[in-house]
Structure 1
Amino acid sequence: MNAVATDYYARGDVFGRGGDFVTAPEISQAFGEIVGLWAAVTWQQMGSPRHVHLVECGPGRGTLMADALRATKGAHGFVAAAKIHLVERSPALRALQKKTLSNHDITWHDDLATVPDGPVIIIGNEFLDALPVRQYQRTNDGWAERVITLDGRGELTFSTRPADNIPIPIPLAVTAEVGAIFEFSEAITALVKHIANRIARNSGAALLIDYGHSASGLGDTLQAVKGHSYHNVLTSPGEADMTAHVDFAHVKAMAKSAGVCVFGPIEQGIWLRQLGIGLRQVQLARGKPADVAQTIEQGVRRLTEPHGMGVLFKVITLADPSLPRLEGFP
């Protein structure tokens, strides 16, 4: 999955209506604006340090960061204090980000580990879901790792192989029926631990938004999306967006074990409404033609309502324990 994702994102602009999928910042500018204002308030809660590393992991076209910075121009010194870092390996996407953020001084990184130490605010929207996962399947002989191999015709197919030290919670392991699948991401585990350790060491917070489940469970969530439609994950690897749902219970446990405070996960719709996206919708629509106002309303509804992204998508924050409760969490 790691190699497939690298090849896929190297293609360039896979986002938006002309790409394979649409992310929240492309649906409504209000999303990035809300995220930006959250970051500015968090910076103030940190004591308004003179310099803060504002980091986005997997920034796509750069739309979220552009909206966030525009919305925070009047936030009493936040933009001046922010040293902007984008974690992005794709040269094609870096070129798009450079164009979108042409008025800002940006530093790019292949890996979060190369961002300098110091007070930090990290943003990751639909980043965790693209990280590699392992799948384990319950068989008649016990648990085994689910792998991709070649069948007798030379075509990709799923198979299983023996595995040791399978990281399945005991209640799930003993009650699962034959055929059940458990997913685990070593990459997410490593990233969350790194983020938590960085926050504990330097002060700051991380905002992670993605689709997934609040409790660990069973199920095959691996999916491939191409041209806004679901495709067989074994068909044309590297030509579709391949993702898996995020286990937020595991994210929370890993972060807490590193000594940081965790708020959430909560549903994206609740978080956005708590931070006033409804009011922002009214502001954006004021004085606009009816069709434009309707488009603005539809975008906000898609982000917040259950039949859209409001329930499936979750929001979680990792924070320095010395900080007060972060905005957006009841």
Structure 2
Amino acid sequence: MRSDQKRVILVTGGAGFIGSNFIHYYLAGHPGDHIINLDKLTYAGEEDHIKEIEQKSNYTFIKGDICDSELVDEIFRTYGVTDIIHFAAESHVDNAISEPDPFIATNINGTYQLLKTAKRHWLEGGRDGETNRFHHISTDEVFGTLAPDEAPFNETSPYAPNNPYSASKAAADMLVRSYCKTYGLNTVITNCSNNYGPRQHMEKFIPTVVRTALKFEHIPLYGDGQQIRDWLYVEDHASAIDLVFHNGKKGEVYHIGGDNERANLELANMICDVLDELAPISSGRRVAHYRDLITFVKDRPGHDRRYAIDPQRIARDLNWRPKTRLEDGIRQTVGWYLENEVL
């Protein structure tokens, strides 16, 4: 893929947590490119996430749904879209269990609409199929769960999704793969581990721990709190996406992990210890330390026990490694929430 030309990149879901952090990162490093941010602004998308960049001349925000084929086609025609980086997805597992319909609509049908439009504009009419790139952002959850002693997921791990969210993302991955294999669309897929950092929606694990702790409410942990996740700082993820987008091999899959496996209970304790330091509890409260608020609640159905990502391919082929230690990233994240008072 050529990197010396001006790119007009359609970023879907760019007002969400990972998408907005990526746009901030990308515009700082590639001021000559133009980003079109298409976001439906559902519960996970926040206009405040992109307020700092809304006046930039190389940034355009469009409120809309990726399932709206006419709108997506109009964006391609109006702006001359050269590439897509596809973040937009319904992603909260609890919501997928209680109401899976939006996950099927957005994650599967929405991805299909983007692929169909990209194929029509980029491949029909004799284009070479190499210049324009479709970068699909996926998750480690498509691979199901790992036993404590199993090796982390790699790019050849079989898909085994265990809930409607991960199943919908697995289906989207397969659609993207099929458009590369069948039609020659220039695709790459990245599967990431659990992200954390600034701008994350308050429903997610780390913001929930911070929010409930600061309100002196019970900090809820599912089951025994020993579910293990590999945690990836969102700016490290953005740097990896940037690298794969520009230099990844057509049709390849790259796993992006933080090399930070922790049990939920261990991570909750780490967050509480940082809060003890940055927002100490005043005398007279019913607890002396935030850890005392941790409470175990009934586990959710289909709760995967462990996720972990093997990032050897991206390290070997593209020389990428995460830079942020979990302890440092948690401190920065908690500090951001305290400073911005968004919880």
- Class of the TM-score when normalised by the shorter of the 2 chains: 0.3 to 0.5
Q: TM-score, normalized by length of structure 1?
A: 0.41
Greater fraction of residues in helix: 2
Greater fraction of residues in strand: 1
